[in-house]
Amino acid sequence: MDQTAILSGMPGAEPFPGLPDAWHWSPNPRFHFVAALATDREHVLQINTMDSYDETLVREVLAFARDHAAQLANDNRPLIALPGFTATGRDFDTVAVAAPRAHTYHARDDKDLHQATYAVFPGWHYEFSGTETDEEAYSQVSHPHGLRVTNLDREPLPFLKMSYHNTVTGSRSTAAHRALAKPPVLMRELELLEGAAAGFVEFENFRHQVWRAEWAGTYVLEGEGIRREPDRAELLAFAQAALTGEV
């Protein structure tokens, strides 16, 4: 495939300033697409944005991903986190790269281009476990309730897997094992656990550290070599810190 001809031929495509072998096109004011050739000139690194275009950030992200293209070629995971990134005026610390099976870029219009394209976006190290399954990676990258990767102004969304059962409200997780969830769900279920004897909330962070909270007349928190009886505020603060690796 002649990727140069394909990318430069996108409707309205123009060379992207400050980055060789890269092109920008925008079908309307809300959407901006920027794609750059990887160093092998066979694969494509692409950022899609919606309502949040930042030319400087896009340039820095694509340049960082291109500098690590050799690492990508030898890594078969569906979602790869590249740490050590810094961005002008932003606090992102990671560039994430999604394999074709985790994104939908060009999937409808050009299947060959889709298979050659990595979806690239900035993030934070604690958003990625490094062991995401294909299904989990697709959920994080392509689902509207995932990481919202096209929003360059988004807030961090720490990686979280959890399971729970509340014997008072009757609510419980449906998966047989811990499954992807969002932090507000964890905080809500921890609060509701108070008074729910024999109930539990189990949660896992990006480092695969696991804790379990139960109610036995007081909160009981166990996991990773600790056992505590925190009050509600202490439990919630611990959970919040655990998700970003601060405990």
Per-residue pLDDT reduced to its tens digit, 89-100: 999 999 999 999
How many whole angstroms separate alpha carbon 80 and alpha carbon 65? 11
In the chain, domain spans: 3-142, 161-243
- Give the separation between CA 46 and CA 106, rounded to whole angstroms: 10
Mean pLDDT of the chain: 97
Q: What is the mean pLDDT of residues 222-243?
A: 98
| C-alpha span between 225 and 232 (Å, rounded) | 20
| pLDDT-derived band at 222, boundaries 50, 70, 90 | very high
Has residue 123 got a pLDDT over 90?
A: yes
pLDDT for 200 beyond 90? yes
Residues 122 and 151: their CA atoms lie apart, in Å, by 10
- Classify strands 179-180 and 94-98 as parallel, antiparallel or unpaired: unpaired
For the packed helices 232-243 and 183-192, what is the interaxial angle rounded to 10 degrees? 160
End-to-end CA distance of the chain: 49
